[in-house]
């Protein structure tokens, strides 16, 4: 007999979470189960719910609701955990205005936001109030695997949810990048520098500006982080271990180095989704007021599209918005050797 819907929801959540640690055991219904066991249990339950064409037609709305609730439960937390270093992520009910309240820092740290304007491009707006809204819009994607593949055992639920959530996460980060780029030229000229390669002298000037407001975190790409090296006399055994184990030093002259997420636009892994040429130097004050605001609004919508050959794909829509809240104590360095062609002169000096 099939599980009640509420227990099936718990099983789907447990199975999706298990994909992040496939070697571990998980507790479900008082039992210790492996990720494989969870997936097989879920497959058996869904086969009872929608194991043939007629049953699927009768119950597919229940199946879609299960997927929607799984994405709604996991995606915001996944985004929050991935970007917690520099982003504040909040969830709002459908129809609620996503309002963020800014923290009042030092008077000299003038704050402004970049958000989508009427032309569809990120534009800069000065803040004259303590609160501001983040406009949201619907982003969609499709899992390019048929539901029958899962039922037949040719693909598992963890893979389906991973396809869905990775696509939505990539969409979020694409908007994060656009928001940061939209605010770039509004930083004081002294706070930004572009050069062909890594110049320790120019980078340290920016670091000194940012560190006036406390400890600094350097957010950058793996490619640029590997170039941020200290003078020979500064290199410790810990630094050498960092380079050997992860390809870059974890600390640079007192500033923590953190790697920005990256993804590919194509399956051939030739087109990067995020320009790797930038390093953002964020002082402690800006981390208390995280510069990126991410708002999720309403529930995930899952639907089905039937192709001409009668195969199906699951389509997912999620409403979210991104805004960059910047201050004039944030600094940015660009290595133009790593820049996308369209960003080679974006610093606007």
Residue 89: what pLDDT? 92
Architecture of domain 187-289+329-343: 2-Layer Sandwich (3.30)
Query: DSSP of 117-166, one letter per residue?
Result: -TTSSEEEEE--SSEEE---EEEEEEE-S-HHHHHTTSS-HHHHHHHHHH
What CA–CA distances, in Å, run from 120 to 98, 178, 182? 19, 11, 12
pLDDT at 90: 93
205: tokens are 């000037």
The answer to whether the CB of 192 falls within 8 A of the CB of 347 is yes
Phi and psi for 281 in degrees, rounded to 5? -105, 105
**Residue 73 burial (CB count, 10 A):** 16
**Residue 201 CB contacts under 8 Å (≥ 6 apart), including other chains:** none
Check if the beta carbon of residue 49 is closer than 8 Å to that of residue 62: yes
What pLDDT, on the 0 to 100 scale, is given for residue 124? 52
The pLDDT of residue 107 is 37
Residues of the chain where predicted confidence (pLDDT) is lower than 70: 1, 20-26, 103-129, 144-148, 150-151, 153-158, 285-288, 309-311, 348-349
3-state SS class at 311: coil
Distances in Å between the Cα of 200 and the Cα atoms of 8, 234, 250, 335 are 56, 13, 16, 12
Residue spans of the domains in the chain: they are: 187-289+329-343
Q: For 172-184, write each residue's pLDDT tens digit.
A: 888 888 888 877 8
| Three-state DSSP class for residue 267 | coil
Condensed to tens digits (0 to 9), the pLDDT of residues 270-279 reads: 888 888 999 9
What are the residues whose beta carbons fall under 8 Å from the beta carbon of 13, sequence distance 6 or more?
70, 73, 74
Instruction: Give the number of other CB atoms < 10 A from CB of residue 334.
Output: 23
> What is the structure's pLDDT at 310?
67
pTM of the model as a whole: 0.79
Contact between residue 325 and residue 332 where contact means Cβ atoms under 8 Å apart: no
Report the Cα–Cα distance between both ends of the chain, in Å, rounded.
68
């Amino acid at each position: 007999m099939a599980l009640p819907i509420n227990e099936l929801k718990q099983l789907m959540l447990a199975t999706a979470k298990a994909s992040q640690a496939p070697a571990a055991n998980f507790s479900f219904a008082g039992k210790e189960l492996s990720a494989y066991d969870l997936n097989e249990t879920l497959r058996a339950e869904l086969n009872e719910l929608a194991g043939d064409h007629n049953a699927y037609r009768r119950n597919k709305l229940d199946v879609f609701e299960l997927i929607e609730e799984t994405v709604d439960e996991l995606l915001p937390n996944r985004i929050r955990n991935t970007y917690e270093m520099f982003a504040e992520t909040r969830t709002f009910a459908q129809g609620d205005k996503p309002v963020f309240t800014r923290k009042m820092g030092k008077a000299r740290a003038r704050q402004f936001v970049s958000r989508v304007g009427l032309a569809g491009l990120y534009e800069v707006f000065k803040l004259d109030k303590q609160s501001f809204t983040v406009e949201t819009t619907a982003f969609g994607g499709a899992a390019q695997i048929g539901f029958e593949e899962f039922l037949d055992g040719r693909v598992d639920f963890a893979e389906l949810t991973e396809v869905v959530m990775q696509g939505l996460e990539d969409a979020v980060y694409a908007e994060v990048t656009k928001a940061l780029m939209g605010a770039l030229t509004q930083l004081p000229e002294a706070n930004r520098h572009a050069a062909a390669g890594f110049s320790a002298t120019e980078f340290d000037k920016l670091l000194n500006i940012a560190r006036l407001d406390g400890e600094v975190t350097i957010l950058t790409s793996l490619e640029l982080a590997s170039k941020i090296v200290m003078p020979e006399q500064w290199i410790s055994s810990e630094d050498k271990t960092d380079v050997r184990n992860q390809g870059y030093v974890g600390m640079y002259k007192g500033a923590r180095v953190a790697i920005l997420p990256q993804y590919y636009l194509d399956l051939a892994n030739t087109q990067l989704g995020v320009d790797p040429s930038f390093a953002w130097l964020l002082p402690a004050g800006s981390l208390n007021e995280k510069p990126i605001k991410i708002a999720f609004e309403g529930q995930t919508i899952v639907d089905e599209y039937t192709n001409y050959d009668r195969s199906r794909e699951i389509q997912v829509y999620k409403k979210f918005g991104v805004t960059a809240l910047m201050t004039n104590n944030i600094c940015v360095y660009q290595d133009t050797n790593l820049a996308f062609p369209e960003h080679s002169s974006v610093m606007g000096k």
